[in-house]
Amino acid sequence: MRPGILLTLAAFAATAITACGANGSSAVSENSTPVASATAEDSPLPSTPGAVTIGSANFPESELLAYLYAGAMTARGVQVTVHAGIGERPAYLAALNDHSIGAVPEYTGALLSFLHPATTAKTPNDVYNELRTYAQGRDLAVGRYAAAQDVDTITVTRATAARYHLQSIGDLKDVAPTLSLGAPAPFRTVPYGIPALKNIYGVTFGRFVPLPATGSIARTTLVKGTVDAADIFSTDPAIQRDNLISLTDPQNIFAAENVVPVFRRDVLTQPMADACAAVATHLTTSALAGLVTKVVDGVDPAAAATSWLAEEGIT
């Protein structure tokens, strides 16, 4: 009955949008240009600003993104409430589904994998287009994606990498059964997590340790050796600061993870879409990483978001 869960998630009858239709006029040079509109299809969005509650997952970057979108939307007259720290994907998507929240910041690859586990899309454009396809027929509207990406990684300490001669994930194959992996609980069951490690790289860790997503606990368990490898998100400053090494992923089990806002179709208005598009055109991976560093160092996410939005001229 497992596929049944996906079917039940589909109370979502959607029409995808790329309301912010302009073709790739972003200042970004990463990967491919953000996808073009292809949206002649749908009815135009309401032009009144409207109101929305935007949620977030329970890690700092997600909160930050929520405040970024919230700030941009507020500047265009939208009534925004932020409800941060809801939990992992199943929890906040359930909240989106039952109208507890109207929007949430997401990552294209991971969300697509959740909605359509059999996906094989890897590049930003492919992932995004497929995501829009699967959001169709559900009540979800996916906004314009930003060039900024935050990917899962398998990260080890420099000492561990040296000891087992690790450079890419595949190098773990022989030694993984004696090692432990720390990652957020869903990593155990999502298609691009433990199953992909096993099926694509032949890597099976001896022990899986569920950890709160990123943050100081994840970092400490890796640095102190409680776990031998951990899923540290790629924008986490801990990778540089603690001299960690993210193993390379030549087989691309981790697809593109561009930041993207997801709305309930019945909540989305044109000003909201425009505001999110504005954020998308300015948010690069390095900008995101810089903001995350500030938040990890103790700056309030709302404050960090507000000053960045002002600097970029979005508000």
Partner 1 sequence: MNSLWSYLQANHAQLGRWTVATLWLSTAPLVTGLVAAVPVGWLASRNRVAALILLGGTGALYTVPSLVMFLTLPGLLGTRILDPINVAVALTIYSVALLTRTVTGALSAVPADVTGAATAVGYNRFQLLIAVQLPVALPVIAAGVRAAAVANVSLVSVASIIGTAQLGQLFVIGTNTGSLTPIVLGLLLFVALALVIDLAIVATARILTPWRQAATR
Partner 2 sequence: MTEDAGNGLPGLHRVQIWLNDPGNWSGSEGMLARLGEHIEYTAVIIALAVLVAVPLGTAIGSTGRGTVAAAAAANALRAVPTLGLLVLLIVVVSPRVSIGAGIPGIIPSGGIPYFLPALLVLLILAVPPILTSTYAGIQAIDPAVRDAARGSGMTALHAAIRIELPCAIPVVMSGIRSATLQVIANLTVAAYAPLVGGLGRFIVDGDQNLSDPRFGYPAMIAAGLGIAALVVATDGALKALQRQISSPGIRIRPSKRPS
The site for partner 1 (CB under 8 A) is made up of 55, 58-60, 83-87, 91, 94-95, 98-101, 212, 214-217, 219-220, 295-298, 300
Site for partner 2 in 75-104 (CB under 8 A): 87-88, 90-91, 93-95, 97-98
Identify which of residues 182 and 261 has a Cβ nearer to partner 2 in the complex.
Answer: 182
The span of 41-49, 141-149, 214-222, 258-266 binding partner 2 (CB under 8 A) equals 214-222
Identify which of residues 95 and 273 has a Cβ nearer to partner 2 in the complex.
Answer: 95
* DSSP run (H or E) holding 141: strand 140-142
Q: 21: which 2 tokens?
A: 């239709």
Cβ atoms of 266 and 112 closer than 8 Å: no
Residue 65 to residue 226: CA distance in whole angstroms: 30
170 binds partner 2 (CB under 8 A): no
13 binds partner 2 (CB under 8 A): no
Cβ atoms of 253 and 196 closer than 8 Å: yes
At closest approach, how far in Å is the CB of 222 from partner 1? Answer: 13
Q: Which of 254, 253, 249, 233 is nearest to 171 (CA)?
A: 249
At closest approach, how far in Å is the CB of 146 from partner 2? Answer: 26
Residue 35 to residue 37: CA distance in whole angstroms: 7
Among 34, 71, 184, 261, binds partner 2 (CB under 8 A): 184
Among 203, 227, 244, 259, binds partner 2 (CB under 8 A): 227
At closest approach, how far in Å is the CB of 239 from partner 2? Answer: 17
Cβ atoms of 292 and 61 closer than 8 Å: yes
Cβ atoms of 214 and 236 closer than 8 Å: yes
Among 186, 191, 195, 237, binds partner 2 (CB under 8 A): 186
Among 125, 160, 221, 258, binds partner 2 (CB under 8 A): 221
Identify which of residues 273 and 302 has a Cβ nearer to partner 1 in the complex.
Answer: 302
Question: Hunting for tokens 């989106």 — which residue is that?
Answer: 96
128's contact among partner 1, partner 2, none, with CB below 5 to 8 A by partner kind, is none
For residue 315, the 8-state DSSP code is -
Cβ atoms of 50 and 79 closer than 8 Å: yes
Cβ atoms of 152 and 261 closer than 8 Å: no
CA torsion, points 62, 65, 67, 70, in degrees to nearest 10? -120
Site for partner 2, rule CB under 8 A: 1-2, 4-5, 8-9, 11, 87-88, 90-91, 93-95, 97-98, 180, 182, 184-186, 188-189, 207, 209-213, 216-217, 220-221, 223-227
